Amino acid sequence: MITPSTIEQIKNRLDIIDVVGEFVKLKKRGTNYLGNCPFHNEKTPSFTVSPTKELYKCFGCGKSGNTITFVMEHEKISYVDALRWLAARYNIEIEETQVSEQQKQQFQIADSLFVINSFATKFFDNQLFNTEDGQAIGMSYLKERGFREEILKKFQIGYNPQSRDTLAKALISNQFNKELLPRTGLVTVRNETELVDNYRGRIIFPIHNISGKVIGFGARVIGKAINAPKYINTPENELYVKSRILYGSYFARTAIDKQDECLLVEGYTDVVSLHQAGIENVVASGGTSLTIDQLKLVKKYTNNLTIIYDGDSAGVKAALRGLDMALEEGLNVRLVLIPDNEDPDSYVNRVGATAFQQFIKDNKKDFIIFQLEVMLKDAGNDINQKNILVNHVAETISKINKAEDFIKQQAYIKQCAAILKIDEGGLINLVNKLKRDKVVKDEKKTTAAEISYQNEADQYPPEQQEEQTLFISPDEKHERNILRVLLEYGLNPYDETQSIADHIFSEIKPFPFESPEMIKVLEMYRSQYEQGLRPSTKSFLYTEDQTIRDLVINITLFPYELSSNWDKMYEGKTITKVDTMDNDILMSVNYYKLKKLKKMFDQNQADMEVASFDNQLLLLRIHIELKEVEREITKKLGTVILK
């Protein structure tokens, strides 16, 4: 929906060192920059950023891309949201392409709600920190709960005064659309036209989306709730959909990614207290059952989910709700129950961060085994209840349906059968039956169109796996090297009549590429070159085809650079920076041609062994011609390396 001209403007303004440097401490090394990878834990830096090629690559975990994909990957946001993030950073006004009136109206409403929420957040902050009521009522309550001002500032926690319409008047005086205000949940309508504050006398917890914008609020009563709900939340609107939100995810995303574990608690104050204690990989479900969208949000950062809930019966039931879906998503789920009728907020304040973390480490329970033990205790000696329990456990285990989790599933079957004191083979049969039943049920729901779409999608996997050099054929390595030379030097002059690109195209014409991916990149380069577009690494890095992006990164960025002190003798020859480009082109092109000639020789030899006498004579002449070409090439190189 963003216009191509805006996208181009954003790309032209990008500074990869500036953007990546906001999240990674970079140190200059040669022409590139080096730092610890933000996508996996490492002690020795292997994350390389090239400002000249405008790309990054980690030689530890394999993550790579351009400035836009870095923002997408690090912030876990979409391509469009990454463009908006970068546009805001560089103060670029975004132009949208033509959309329908309905879509345009939806965008305008969403933008207006963002603006209203932003105003309200600042209003609540001011009321808490800069008014007598805020200090006497709101701040005193928060400090009594143990919250420090810096953590309140971090989460933008505020206060709405007790008076009837303080916020409503402020919104109206700033000329916000009166019709939109009730949709935010900040105000409500009385007597058909009168607007009054909805969160009177409450502590306000702004709820941020993954890019840090406020999309809604949770308003907590001060003290104990009497004849009023403890929390009031924003009603669902164009921005706020409760089932898709985990409170604190904006502040926790980096820590979750780094520690490869997400701690899930129930309430807003639990999240804030744990962050204050230095435990930052924590989010809250807001007291609702886990939803599939929330679980997918967790899975963006980690496969390890640890749920921390109150140890009472209500807390246990809340912790167990919706976790079958977590298994289907491939998450490793653990459960920790806080003792002594406390919650994570009160417990961490009582025992401290170190003891709290040790408690979590020592008391993680496997979700399936814990659920089984709880239900077995409730069933007692009731045979019917035990029968229901066996079916429930089998159904839970059947949710573990990913091929790579087969061993995990078998381990659960073995453990559960032992606890239930039933035949392991019988439990295996029941689990398999439930899996087959689900497949049949899903197939019935799937339309012919969906099947066709899925078959097509399977041919183009959403994530291109990192291609390891170990599995690249020698032929492809030479083809990659030709592309590298083209991208690095192609636009430079070769002589007075042609560019290096012209020279390479001419030299390799009798020796075509064989790899489909290499052919695709070569033809893209040739097409851009013939159109006078000056193809370069950058022009390939921002293509929509991820396969091409990854390929270009892999062939142009290396973990090591030549030292600046490299004017040294090598096998009797002085290699200087002036010589390097010419030598690189000479060696790359001619070794490529020799490799192709070797294949031609081998094929020609194989053909001769089965050919008739007349055809053998023809093949012999071809052999002589190939040898002549080989001699010319090896004469240029001054050596023969064919094996």
Q: What is the pLDDT of residues 71-93, one digit of tens each?
A: 888 877 778 888 888 888 888 88
At 435, is the secondary structure helix, strand, or coil?
A: helix
Amino acid letter, residue 157: I
Pairing of β 231-233 and β 262-265: unpaired
The per-residue pLDDT for 315 is 57
The answer to whether the CB of 288 falls within 8 A of the CB of 243 is yes
Contacts of 68 (CB under 8 A, 6+ apart): 11, 14, 79, 82, 83, 86, 542
Number of Cα atoms under 13 Å in the Cβ half of residue 155: 30
- How many Å apart are CA 374 and CA 95, to the nearest integer? 57
One of 3.40.50.2300, 3.90.870.10, 3.40.50.300, 3.40.1360.10 is the CATH number of 249-442, namely 3.40.1360.10
**First-to-last C-alpha distance (Å) of the chain:** 55
Confidence of residue 639 (pLDDT cuts 50, 70, 90): low
DSSP label at residue 36: -
Q: What is the pTM of this model?
A: 0.60
pLDDT digits (tens, 9 = 90+) for 479-535: 888 888 888 888 888 888 888 889 888 888 888 888 888 888 888 888 888 888 888
Confidence of residue 146 (pLDDT cuts 50, 70, 90): very high
At 507, is the secondary structure helix, strand, or coil?
A: helix
Domain formed by 4-89, architecture = Alpha-Beta Complex (3.90)
DSSP label at residue 304: E
Number of Cα atoms under 13 Å in the Cβ half of residue 527: 8
201: left (phi over 0), alpha (psi -120 to 50) or beta: left
- How many Å apart are CA 182 and CA 196, to the nearest integer? 10
CA dihedral 513, 517, 518, 524 (to 10 degrees): 110
User: Is the pLDDT reported for residue 249 higher than 80?
Assistant: yes
User: Is the pLDDT reported for residue 460 higher than 70?
Assistant: no
For domain 101-240, is the CATH number 3.90.980.10? yes
